[in-house]
A and B are shown apart, each in its own frame.
Chain A
Amino acid sequence: MQYSSQAVAKPYFIAAIGLFIGQILFGLIIGTQYVIGDFLFPEIPFNVARMVHTNLLIVWLLFGFMGAAYYLVPEEAERELFSPKLAIAMFWIFLVAGALTIVGYLAVPYATLAAATGNDLLPTMGREFLEQPTITKIGIVVVALAFLYNIGMTIITGRKTVINIVLLTGLTGLAVFFLFSFYNPINLVLDKMFWWWVVHLWVEGVWELIMGAILAFVLIRLTGVDREVIEKWLYVIIAMALITGIIGTGHHYYWIGTPEYWQWWGSIFSALEPIPFFMMTVFAFTMVNRRRKEHPNKAATLWALGCAVMAFLGAGVWGFLHTLAPVNFYTHGSQITAAHGHMAFYGAYVLIVITMISYAWPHLHHKAPAANGRAQLFEMWSFWIMTISIVFITLFLTGAGILQVYLQRVSDTPLPFMVVQDKIALFYWLRLWTGVIFFVGLCLYVYSFFAKDNKSLASS
């Protein structure tokens, strides 16, 4: 760690992992409710548990991005963070606001929460992923602005590198597009159309800039490859991501009342969306192969390569699988969507945050470039267990999805939704048990932070 203010990243990373655990626990709850319908009913109905599952995901990824930025920006800008105090203050505000929101979800019925937080004044609640009370949304904007100010001032008065400029652009875009979450017209089609300006332009737009910047930062440190080379490719990759991804929004405009030309525009551009992810995979492997030094943090390299591969599989391949309009006509809103969502989020965003944590944590905590060998071993085991689990979760959901689509939408005698759900329950069971194994991998990951090396084990 070159700058003492980088240490503010630490609480962010800890919060991220803590919320990640919560996310998976609620994932297991809803996974169970898929097969045992009355599990925890009516105390925690499915809609509440799912909302906690997805909202925790978003919040912990945001914690991860912010932590990554606080760690990375001072090193890139070659100066201390503009205001470490502001960063810590924002951490507590965000954590408390997030925790209160989750408690609100769980403690009272959603309608009560809506009434208590004044949803009448500016109704923004009750839309997927944007379920937060309006006041929480305003809080998110405040935190985001303070964060951008802090990061922005550091960069403006420090060294400007491609990495911190791209990261800043991505984070600014994240804040800007979130503003569309306050637009909630009664006209359902308009509502849906601009809802995607938050969701799609986040995950298939500006978040990819953040991901690319973090990956480039870590690869420079791990491989010792010339910054010029890595930054050049970073530009090319994110250029491709935006060229394909922005119009790629059209793949959400097929069946929500928007004009039918989106079926063409959306299909054509989103069919090309795997390209930047493929480039990212090639890029990561090429840089590691051309490495000029052997970095002792092997685990971080594994996470980084895993991220590149899994992002390509999840976002690229599984996205392509159902992105063409004629296919999507049958798969839209089915378990195929869920399969893609799980692998894409894990591959692209969960793994990029863990990559950053894996690289930064030894510097933050041990004042060393790498954790001890045994800790790294546990990290690598957790990587493989979680990654293989998510691959199987995706495969089982894909199996469920194919059957669901056939029985409910394609066959000559389409069956009702709930009848089909019963018929494909086996896949949900398999998914649930794989989820349990994923959780074991996550526990192992958490344990790796406390693992002592063999020598100190022997001496104690």
Chain B
Amino acid sequence: MTTSRKHDAGGLPGDFAIWIFIFAELLVFGVFFLAYAFSRANNVELFNESQLHLNRIAGAANTVVLLTSSYFVVRAVAAIRADNARRCGHWLLSAIGMGSVFLVIKMFEFGEKFSAGISLSTNTFFMFYLSLTFFHFMHVILGIVILAAVLLKARSGGYSAANHTGVETGASYWHMVDLVWLILFPLVYVIH
């Protein structure tokens, strides 16, 4: 079995099982985004007014942070394809670091909102804002856990150029988390 080159044949990288999970997650987020759009269409003023209270700078910063982390993950996959497990580990660690930065910025943002007395029950906009961002927040945590598991295995020499499905699996999940944010950020923070 030529596991290392299968992505050239147009197959999905990583384990197929993670893709079932990714599809399910994208479906949930997709429906959530549609629900947001539908709700917004019925309450444009409320949404526009409430949106002004969001911290766009923090959101934009987090977009850059996640994109960077995704880039690091790409480099990690490239490193293991070149059979360089050590470098792969470094890139993974950097990606995890960026993921943690995302969490810190996000927690700062949540803290800001909570201290202003905003909760899920404040209004429909904040219900969506908190639901979507918290749901995504948990995905970042899960993504970090997955990358950490991949990192541990990479460090103990579990991957090689011939066999690195695990790295691709973790990378696929992380890109999904990033992708969701790339839709979430403009949709909830920016589009007015």
Contacts and interface: CB of A to CB of B under 8 A. Distances in A.
Q: CB atoms of A and B under 8 A apart anywhere in the complex?
A: yes
Interface of A: 232, 235-236, 239-240, 243-244, 259-261, 264-265, 267-269, 271-272, 275
Contacts of A236: 17, 20
Given A236-B20, A239-B21, A261 B28 contact: no
A358 B54 CA distance: 60
A248 to B, nearest CB: 11
B127 A264 contact: yes
B20 A268 contact: no
Given A264-B35, A264-B131, A272-B24, 5 more contacts: A259-B120, A261-B120, A264-B128, A269-B28, A272-B31
Contacts of B17: 232, 235-236
B127 A268 contact: no
Contacts of A260: 121, 127
Contacts of B20: 236, 239-240
A141 to B, nearest CB: 33
Interface centre among A232, A264, A271 (most CB of B within 10 A): A264
B121 A265 contact: no
A268 B120 contact: no
Nearest to A232: B17
Contact of B127 (A239, A261, A269): A261
Q: Taking chain B's interface residues, is the majority helix, strand, or loop, or is none over half, making it mixed?
A: helix
28 contacts: A236-B17, A236-B20, A239-B20, A240-B20, A243-B24, A244-B24, A259-B120, A259-B121, A260-B121, A260-B127, A261-B120, A261-B127, A261-B131, A264-B32, A264-B35, A264-B127, A264-B128, A264-B131, A265-B131, A267-B35, A268-B28, A268-B31, A268-B35, A269-B28, A271-B31, A272-B24, A272-B28, A272-B31
A275 B121 contact: no
A221 to B, nearest CB: 25
Nearest to B29: A268
A239 B131 CA distance: 22
B27 interface: yes
Interface residues of B, number: 14
A236 to B, nearest CB: 6
Contact of B24 (A235, A264, A268, A275): A275
Interface string B32-43: 100100000000
Given A261-B131, A268-B31, A240 B24 contact: yes
Contacts of B35: 264, 267-268
A432 to B, nearest CB: 40
Contacts of B131: 261, 264-265
B19 to A, nearest CB: 11
A275 to B, nearest CB: 7
A257 to B, nearest CB: 13
Interface in B116-145: 120-121, 127-128, 131
Nearest to B20: A236
A259 B124 CA distance: 12
A263 to B, nearest CB: 9
A99 B145 CA distance: 50
Interface in B9-35: 17, 20-21, 24, 27-28, 31-32, 35
A259 B127 CA distance: 11
B32 A268 contact: yes
A260 B126 CA distance: 12
Nearest to A265: B131
Contacts of A261: 120-121, 127, 131
A240 B128 CA distance: 24
Contacts of A264: 32, 35, 127-128, 131
A102 B131 CA distance: 45
A267 B17 CA distance: 26
A259 B128 CA distance: 14
A272 B120 contact: no
A259 B122 CA distance: 10
A271 B35 CA distance: 12
A261 B118 CA distance: 14
Contacts of B24: 240, 243-244, 272, 275
A272 B28 CA distance: 8
Interface in B81-138: 120-121, 127-128, 131
A243 B17 CA distance: 14
A198 to B, nearest CB: 25
A378 to B, nearest CB: 40
Given A236-B20, A239-B21, A272 B27 contact: yes
Contacts of B31: 268, 271-272
Interface centre among A243, A244, A261, A269 (most CB of B within 10 A): A261
A264 B38 CA distance: 12
A155 to B, nearest CB: 24
Contacts of A239: 20-21
Nearest to A269: B28
A402 to B, nearest CB: 25
Q: Which 8 A-B pairs have the closest CB atoms?
A: A261-B127, A261-B120, A259-B121, A268-B31, A236-B20, A268-B32, A264-B35, A243-B24
A335 B31 CA distance: 28
Interface centre among A232, A243, A268, A271 (most CB of B within 10 A): A268
Interface in B35-76: 35
A193 B21 CA distance: 29
Nearest to A268: B31
A235 B21 CA distance: 12
A311 to B, nearest CB: 19
Contacts of A243: 24
A265 B27 CA distance: 14
A276 to B, nearest CB: 10
A101 B91 CA distance: 64
Nearest to A235: B17
A420 B35 CA distance: 35
